[in-house]
């Protein structure tokens, strides 16, 4: 197979992942209501991805109110959604080629904050093309969000998507910065504005339910070794959930792997208690005169 054929196959898999993801995102958002369980909606979406021919690229994120990212259901999670601002962040891969998307479902009565993130993304997509610097896209996002009277979350960014890599260069800021990376035709990039009623900086919370492989290693404990085999063979370098592990005590296995710096966790990222955060995200393929949005039906 020639390099041209390989490139064409790569983009077709990105597009296939995006098409599956767009359908699952919309269906999951429609299912979400007060009383929906975190674990219920997460397992439904992940199963639906597989049913449509993809694989989850990372555990479904269910982040509410002041949480911006990395909220996720645990193995026996009994939490349910209340009258809250809910962010669903979902990913799909086909043979390691990724698509990443997010939507805010507002059950809290703060539609304008959701709209700020939605319109910031639309404006950013209009600005994307080869030769544009990422700082210019950040300026567009910041202008829209501040126009609604909110702040962008400045220490979270959009990002490139690689093969079996969820976060690669270039980073796409949510505020104006001098210069930045210059977008090139053919890059696959996730753009994800976050709008907040808070100061615009998120910090790590105390909980984590999402993990990924940090390095290769060996462990003596049988369950930890079994978990590591599954991680390296099935998830590779992509994030995974404790509840995905086929061992009787996933928490214990992960603790041992973390102690040896073989895996690392992703703590929930959150604004100050009492503030709200909204999010919207699409994946695009950059073209010479614009972009192709792979996660839009």
| 282 classed as catalytic | no
Domains present along the chain, CATH in parentheses: 3-202+273-293 (3.90.230.10), 209-268 (1.10.10.10)
pTM (2 decimals)? 0.96
Identified catalytic residue from 16, 65, 89, 209: 89
* 76 CB burial (10 A radius; 0-12, 13-18, 19+): exposed
| 89 classed as catalytic | yes
Q: What is the pLDDT of residues 121-154, one digit of tens each?
A: 999 999 999 999 999 999 999 999 999 999 999 9
Contacts of 40 (CB under 8 A, 6+ apart): none
What average pLDDT does range 20-36 have in this prediction?
Answer: 98
pLDDT at 7: 79
| 46 classed as catalytic | no
Instruction: Identify which of 131, 130, 144 has the alpha carbon closest to the alpha carbon of residue 176.
Output: 144
Feature table: binding site for substrate: 70, 167
What average pLDDT does range 197-226 have in this prediction?
Answer: 96
Report the share of the chain in percent with pLDDT over 90: 97
Handedness of CA 265, 271, 274, 280 (dihedral sign): negative
| 95 classed as catalytic | no
pLDDT at 26: 98
Report the share of the chain in percent with pLDDT over 70: 98
State the chain's maximal CA–CA distance in angstroms: 56
Q: What is the pLDDT of residues 165-186, one digit of tens each?
A: 999 999 999 999 998 999 999 9
Identified catalytic residue from 118, 119, 281, 282: 281
CA distances from 183 to 17, 87, 167 (A): 22, 27, 16
Feature table: binding site for a divalent metal cation: 89, 100, 159, 192, 281
| 214 classed as catalytic | no
Taking residue 158's Cβ as centre, other Cβ atoms within 10 Å add up to 28
Distance of CA 233 to the CA centre of its chain: 22
Q: Is the pLDDT of residue 12 over 80?
A: yes
Identified catalytic residue from 100, 106, 118, 209: 100
| 126 classed as catalytic | no
Q: What is the pLDDT of residues 39-79, one digit of tens each?
A: 999 999 999 999 999 999 999 999 999 999 999 999 999 99
Identified catalytic residue from 67, 159, 208, 209: 159
* Contact indicator for 157, 173 with CB cutoff of 8 Å: yes
């Amino acid at each position: 197979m020639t390099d041209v054929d390989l490139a064409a196959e790569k983009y077709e898999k990105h597009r296939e992942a995006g098409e599956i993801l767009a359908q699952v995102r919309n269906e999951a958002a429609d299912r979400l209501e007060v009383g929906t369980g975190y674990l219920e909606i997460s397992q439904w979406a992940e199963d639906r991805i597989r049913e449509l021919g993809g694989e989850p690229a990372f555990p479904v994120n269910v982040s509410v109110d002041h949480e911006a990212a990395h909220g996720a259901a645990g193995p026996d999670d009994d939490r349910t959604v209340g009258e809250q601002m809910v962010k669903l962040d979902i990913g799909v891969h086909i043979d390691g080629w990724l698509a990443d998307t997010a939507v805010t479902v507002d059950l809290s009565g703060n539609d304008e904050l959701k709209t700020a993130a939605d319109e910031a993304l639309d404006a950013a997509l209009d600005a994307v093309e080869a030769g544009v610097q990422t700082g210019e896209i950040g300026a567009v996002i910041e202008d829209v969000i501040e126009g609604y009277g909110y702040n962008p979350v400045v220490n979270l960014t959009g990002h490139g998507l690689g093969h079996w890599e969820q976060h690669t260069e270039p980073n796409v800021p949510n505020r104006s910065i001098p210069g930045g990376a210059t977008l090139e035709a053919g890059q696959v990039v996730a753009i994800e504005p976050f709008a907040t009623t808070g100061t615009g900086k998120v910090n790590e919370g105390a909980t984590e339910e999402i993990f990924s492989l940090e390095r290769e290693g060996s462990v003596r404990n049988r369950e930890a070794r079994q978990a590591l085999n599954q991680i390296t063979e099935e998830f590779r370098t992509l994030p995974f959930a404790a509840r995905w592990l086929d061992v009787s005590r996933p928490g214990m296995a992960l603790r041992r792997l973390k102690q040896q710096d073989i895996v690392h966790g992703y703590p929930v990222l959150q604004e100050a208690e009492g503030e709200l955060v909204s999010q919207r995200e699409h994946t695009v393929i950059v073209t010479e005169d614009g972009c192709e949005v792979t996660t839009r039906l």
